[in-house]
Amino acid sequence: MQGSTRSPETGGMRSLDPRTKVVAVVLFILAVNLIPAGAWPVYLVLLALLWSAAVVLHVGMLVLLRRSLVAVPFVLAVVVLPFTTPGAAIYELPGLGWQISREGMTLFLTILCRFFLAVQAAVLLAASTPVSELLWGLRKLGVPTTLVAIIGFMYRYLFVIGEEAGQMIRARAARSAQIPHHRRPSVFWQGRVSGLMVGSLFLRALARSERIYVAMLSRGYDGHPRSMLHLRMVAWDWIVVIGSGLLLALILWGRMA
Amino acid sequence: MSCLVEIKNLSFSYQDGRTALQELDLSICEGEKVGIVGSNGAGKSTLLLQLNGVLQGTGDVRIAGDQVCRQNLGRIRSLVGLVFQDPDDQLFSPTVFEDVAFGPLYMGLDESAVSLRVREALESVGMDGMEERVPNRMSLGEKKLVAIATVLAMRPRILALDEPTAALDARARRTILGVLKHLDETLVVATHDLSLVAEVLDRTIVMDRGEVVADGPTAEILRDEAFLAEHGLI
Ligand SMILES: Nc1ncnc2c1ncn2[C@@H]1O[C@H](COP(=O)(O)OP(=O)(O)OP(=O)(O)O)[C@@H](O)[C@H]1O
Ligand SMILES: [Mg+2]
């Protein structure tokens, strides 16, 4: 946030403008999704590109991989593809008789690659850019102020609300004693309790949002964002933006040829 | 002589009809250190929120001679710094620096002045060097101190704090007390912490069910144990 802690002149690639990073990541994700299914070498090239960017931006490989793990549950959504896509069978699950088709497998692996690359690009953006800069960059790129504010608050308060949820779950667990030989409460009852908990969490979040608004008003908030950030696009920024644009163009051209 | 805070015949009810303040009269002069005590629901927090016009009741509230009303809110809010009980409500920005800079920025100061104020405010609560920290990853005591700094950076004439020591451990409480003792601003502190009152504040106002039931030098008020017990304070 402070101009003093960050000087674009000295950092080179290290201190890319947040706008550059956002644009480059969006272009990269577009490119990834345009690569034809099964074009494995291209995926490898993009992965190499991404990892070099991580090295340049001083984001550790471990951080990158660990944070990408959040996306794993979504992979489950496509795990059935190898079985459901019609095509030449290449393998049969012993016992079950389910067949894996070549086309299905290719589709599955392609989606996996795209997804993995896109998530890593997003993680790289988040890990290499302070939140304040990211929000500033989004605003400068024309993302509506309200949306940017929501993202900022989400970043700040998701954790707080998560903590409240944790407290409620612990409180419920602490009171969920079970007496031997007594029936457990019905699933219906338990579901009702969970529903009430979600409701009360929502009310708490609502009350908190009101208090935050009051706190903002108390310090003069007038609905317009103010920031002390002044970042300039330097030569490196343009090189990166144009580079990612060229990458996308190349892949588009490759698809058409 | 007119005082910094002049409250005459102030009454206030929440939307649900619950009366929180009843015909309250109160004046606080420049430099006074005032404690507001009272049992839960006595109306302490409600009273603090009247001071900068976040809530407005019937009656007359004046800060430094100006009536608290829509036209004056900007000025009033730069005079009265409110520190809320839960620092998570007060610290809404991604980093400490941005949060402390928030008030000064909206006061229209230029950027070097804002940076200077942030540094000074953080120094005065002993939190210098925390500028880049993220509130999510700070202890409650640290958050409380930064919350005080967010308001100090606006250089208010009155500092109004709601339960500054609630839920703090002994050491964090000590730190807050130390900070409060060294502030020159007029202080209004709503609290259940009677030893904080005894140590830091010269004047005590006792509230019960929306009314002021006692107002005087701290030593005198805290001496009368029967009275304190009657109003649920000990
Ligand atoms: N947002 C609200 N809506 C409706 N009633 C409220 C609201 N906030 C407070 N009240 C009521 O107003 C009265 C005064 O509340 P207030 O929060 O000012 O008390 P307090 O002295 O600060 O108490 P505590 O020591 O518990 O913080 C209470 O009866 C309370 O129930
Ligand atoms: Mg209160």
Q: What is the pLDDT along chain A (257 residues), one digit of tens a residue?
A: 444 344 344 445 567 899 999 999 999 999 999 988 888 999 999 999 999 999 988 899 998 999 888 878 888 888 888 888 888 888 887 877 788 888 888 888 998 899 999 999 999 999 999 888 999 999 999 999 999 999 999 988 988 888 888 888 888 888 877 777 777 777 788 788 888 888 988 999 999 999 999 899 999 888 888 888 888 888 989 999 999 999 999 988 988 87
Hey, are the CB atoms on B111 and A228 less than 8 Å from each other?
yes
Hey, are the CB atoms on A215 and B92 less than 8 Å from each other?
yes
B101 to chain A, any CB pair closer than 8 A? The answer is yes
Least Cα separation, residue A255 to chain B (angstroms): 42
At residue A89, φ and ψ (nearest 5 deg) are -75, 135
Hey, are the CB atoms on A132 and B95 less than 8 Å from each other?
yes
Rounded to 10°, the helix A18-34/A131-140 angle is 80
CA of B45 to the centre of ligand 2 (A): 4
The pLDDT, as a whole number, for residue A12 is: 55
B196 inside domain:
yes
Considering only CB atoms, which chain B residues are within 8 Å of A156? 92-94, 135-136
Judge contact between B96 and B132, C-beta under 8 A: yes
B111 inside domain:
no
Judge contact between A124 and A58, C-beta under 8 A: no
Q: Whose CA is nearest to atom 26 of ligand 1?
A: B40
Q: Which runs of E-coded beta strand occur in A96-164?
A: 99-101
At residue B156, φ and ψ (nearest 5 deg) are -75, 160
B149 inside domain:
no
pLDDT tens string A31-47: 999 988 888 999 999 99
Closest by Cα among B59, B57, B43 to B213? B43
Q: What percent of chain A has pLDDT over 90?
A: 35
Q: What is the distance between the alpha carbons of residues A4 and A6, in angstroms, rounded to a whole number?
A: 6
What domain count does chain B have? 1
Hey, are the CB atoms on A1 and B78 less than 8 Å from each other?
no
Q: Which residue has the tokens 């144009």?
A: A242
Q: What is the mean pLDDT of each run of 10 residues along chain B (234 residues)?
A: 89 93 95 96 95 92 93 91 94 94 94 95 93 91 95 95 93 94 95 95 96 95 93 89
The residue extents of the domains of chain A are: 12-129+228-256, 145-178+191-218
CA of B47 to the centre of ligand 2 (A): 9
The pLDDT, as a whole number, for residue A14 is: 60
B125 inside domain:
no
pLDDT tens string B93-142: 999 999 999 999 999 999 999 999 999 999 999 999 999 999 988 999 99
Closest by Cα among B63, B106, B90, B221 to B164? B90
* Sequence-ordered list of residues with C-beta below 8 angstroms from that of A8, at least 6 positions apart, any chain: A15, A17, A231, A232, A234
Which amino acids bring their CB within 6 angstroms of ligand 1?
B 14, 16, 18, 20, 38, 40-46
Please give the residue range of the domain that contains residue B22.
Answer: 3-87+156-230
Q: B72: domain CATH number?
A: 3.40.50.300
Pick the residue of B88, B111, B117 with the most A CBs within 10 A to test the interface with A by mutation.
Answer: B88
